[in-house]
Amino acid sequence: MPFELFVAVRYLRDQPFQTGLILSGIGVGVGVIIFLSALITGLQVSIIDRTLGSQAQVFVRPIEEAPRIHPPRGAELLATTVERPPQRVRSIDGWQEVEALLLRSPGVTGAAPTVTGPAFAVRGLGSIALSVRGIELESYRSIVDVESRLVEGNFDLAGFNVVVGTELVRQLGVSLGGRVRIQAAGDRGGVYTISGIFDYNSVTLNESLVFISLRGAQTLFGIPGGVSAIEVKGRDVFEAEALAEQIRDRTGLVAESWMEQNGDLLTGLRSQSMSSIMIQVFVILAVALGIASVLAVSVAQKAREIGILRATGTPSGSVTRIFFIQGGILGGLGSLFGIALGIVLALFFASVARNPDGSATFPVALTPLLYGRSALIAIGVGLLAAVLPAREASRLDPATAIRNG
Amino acid sequence: MADHPVAVLQAWDIRKTYGERVVTEVLKGIDFELASREFCALTGPSGCGKTTFLNLAGLLDRQTEGRILLDGEDVGPLSDEERTTLRGTKLGFVFQFHHLLPAFTALENVMMPLVARHGRKTPAMSDKASYLLDEVGLADRERYKVTDLSGGQQQRVAIARALVVDPMLVLADEPTGNLDTESSAQVMELLKAFNERAGTAFLIVTHEESIAAHCRRVVHMVDGVIDSDRVVV
């Protein structure tokens, strides 16, 4: 065993109360970091999952129609008001090429052409406003896991089949296999059979969102062969804005990220992350001060012994290393206690707070990466906290230290 | 060790002062030489500068003026780290209050200077420390923590520690100052035996005449200067 490790370990073992106390302090600190991180990350993953469970990360759409003004030949035009034309469902020109380009783009993991437009569901005297989404199931499942939301039937969009939400069937008083008329603008519409029912855990989505086949939507909205959007999934959900910008640059089309569409959500997530980071920084600071104070007290207590070690030939570098090793050991062992404490806290919290359906109200994300990061932080803080005490110890004059202790 | 005595410690015109505004001169020009195999007592009343001189000879402090040669090497220009290396290879220390490391066993205390010098423990170091503890009569106490040993036993552990590096010179500062008469006599006999057997030079600071009587040479200091230097026949 190396000399410095031998001495450092012995000194820590020789002061069990002091060592135990600081290990508890570090453990609690790391435990809080693990617990907070797991909780905040879990919550964010859950929120993002709920939000992006029903939508893509980036929407690529045609540029909006601008007002067109035709001045009479040879006459001066005086326009006091210029009105934007009402937006209608339009197709992306050459969408097949755009889709192929997007699929080749770095960071893109999936792309799906869709036709989305407004319509009404009509049954008897009742009608409900809808957002109809025409999809090709094969490409669409590469960006959104729609099938996992099915609670009844299956995701069959062939012919005049439609998949609707739980709230819509309740409102219209229909059930699986029932029929409903879907009416779009321009008197286009048809009677569809309900082949599947989904539940997005959102009353609005469950009421208004319906899925039909891409070809059916093209007919319904009068854009045969066209698509109104290409929905894109990227590798990193938080890189969606950068991906949208890259798509805008490459295609010249409108590309909107989920972040742009959910500004409040993003602000909420960022505020959550910031407050979590702030708490963690202060906890780390408290842990660092704890380790530094214990080591500083140790240097004062062991001054005479350090003097003896120096007098009998121990180099000052070795004395420095003894205290660094102590800092590292305290950080390392403390982080092990902390990881265990954090896991227990997080799992306890998750088991206590439960939704009526049995799922965790506060989902926790406990990952090896989180443990590794916390351990590294604790060891780093331990080493950093040891800098001043170690320097003080190595500068002790042996004769003075032996004489005065 | 050479057959003929050679100078292990030479000091010329050593002066040491403390303080900046109020300057106190503790050593006022010491000329001293110690050869291998010598067993020398440095005596004098409290405050005469004995321990100060011992600290200078042991490279634990630096003189204000004068030159000190250890084994023929001028130690004045050496850096702190070079002085530390010399202390760990050529010098052994025995302090009045033994100054052992309480967290370690007797065996670990003895082998500590070797472990510090070589960077890690080896079985050979353990064997050597064990042998020395046997030599000082503590073979059955080597696994004891030093805090569980009596004062006399602790001082014997300190002697074994001083000898473990095979030093050319052992500097002992009041090695019996904290012991009863019987233990004091045992410690002095032990030091003398090592001096005779290994030829290691000993410089022993003491203010007790009975302890100095064990030595073949007695140097007496008064008020920062050497008052007498006599060989006891």
From the first residue on, what is the mean pLDDT of each consecutive set of 10 residues in chain A (405 residues)?
Answer: 90 89 88 87 78 79 76 67 73 90 89 93 88 93 87 92 94 91 89 93 90 94 92 87 91 88 82 85 84 80 84 88 90 91 89 75 82 88 85 81 70
Long-range contacts of residues B193-199, Cβ cutoff 8 Å, at least 24 apart: B194/B135, B194/B159, B194/B163, B194/B170, B195/B37, B195/B39, B198/B1, B198/B163, B198/B166, B199/B1, B199/B36, B199/B37
On whether the CB atoms of residues A338 and A27 are closer than 8 A, the answer is: yes
Domain count, chain B: 1
Expressed as residue numbers, the domain containing A182 is: 95-252
Residues of A with CB under 8 A from a CB of B: 1-3, 6, 10-11, 13-14, 304-305, 308-316, 318, 398-399, 402
Identify which of A56, A85, A51, A91 has the alpha carbon closest to the alpha carbon of residue A69. Answer: A85
Residue A99 and residue A248 in one domain:
yes
Q: Chain A within 8 Å of B101 (Cβ-Cβ)?
A: yes
Q: Rounded CA gap, A208 and A217, in Å?
A: 15
Confirm whether B171 is domain-assigned: yes
The pLDDT of residue B1: 45
Residues on chain A touching B80 (C-beta within 8 angstroms): 316
- Residue B208: domain span: 39-59+79-231
Do residue A362 and residue A384 come from a single domain? yes
Query: B119, A3: Cβ pair inside 8 Å?
Result: yes
pLDDT of residue A77: 65
Q: How many residues does chain A have?
A: 405
Which of B55, B60, B121 has its CB closest to that of A1? Answer: B121
Looking at the domain assignment, is residue A144 inside a domain? yes
Nearest by CB to residue B115, choosing from A6, A11, A398, is A6
Q: Is residue B19 part of a domain?
A: no
Task: Examine residue B14 and state whether it is found in any structural domain, yes or no.
Answer: no
Angle formed at CA A341 by CA A382 and CA A324, multiple of 5 degrees: 10
Chain A interface includes B113 (CB < 8 A): yes
Q: Is residue B71 part of a domain?
A: no
- Residue A78: the pLDDT is 66
pLDDT value of position B135: 86
Nearest residue to A114 (alpha-carbon basis) of A216, A228, A213, A208: A228
Q: Is B87 on the interface with A (CB under 8 A)?
A: yes
User: How confident is the model over B188-204, as pLDDT tens digits?
Assistant: 888 898 898 888 999 99
Q: In the prediction, which pLDDT does A386 show?
A: 84
> Are A270 and A231 in the same domain?
no
Residue B2 — very low, low, confident or very high, per pLDDT cuts 50/70/90?
A: very low
pTM comes to: 0.70
In a domain, B26, yes or no: no
B1 touches chain A (CB under 8 A): no
Each residue of B202-232: pLDDT tens digit?
999 998 888 888 899 999 999 999 999 998 7
B115 touches chain A (CB under 8 A): yes
Q: Do B120 and A14 touch (CB under 8 A)?
A: no
- Asked if pLDDT for residue B141 goes beyond 60, the answer is yes
* Reported ipTM: 0.85
Question: Which pLDDT score, from 0 to 100, does residue B207 have?
Answer: 85
Q: How many CA atoms lie within 13 A of A107 on its CB side?
A: 15
Which residue do the tokens 């010399």 mark?
A: B86
Closest in B61, B99, B121 to A308, CB measured: B99
How far, in Å, CA of A197 to CA of A174, rounded?
A: 11
Integer CA distances (angstroms), B187 to A301, B111, B131, B174, B180, in order: 29, 20, 17, 11, 11
DSSP H/E element including B155: helix B151-163
CATH number at residue B93: 3.40.50.300
End-to-end CA distance of chain B: 24
What is the pLDDT, as a whole number, of residue A404? Answer: 67
Tokens matching residue A82: 């210029």
Asked, for residue B90, whether it belongs to a domain, the answer is yes
Does A114 share its domain with A240?
yes
pLDDT tens sequence across B27-58:
999 999 999 999 999 999 888 999 999 999 99
User: Same domain, yes or no, for A224 and A311?
Assistant: no
Q: Is residue B106 part of a domain?
A: yes
Mutate to test the interface with A, among B112, B122, B163, B171 (most CBs of A within 10 A): B112
- Give the closest of A304, A312, A399 to B88, CB-based: A312
Domain count, chain A: 2
Residues A281 and A168 in one domain: no
Please tell me which residue, A349 or B179, carries the higher pLDDT value: A349
Domain end residue (candidates: A230, A252, A274): A252
A88 assigned to some structural domain: no
What pLDDT shows up at residue A157?
93
Closest to A402 (Cβ–Cβ): which among B95, B104, B121? B95
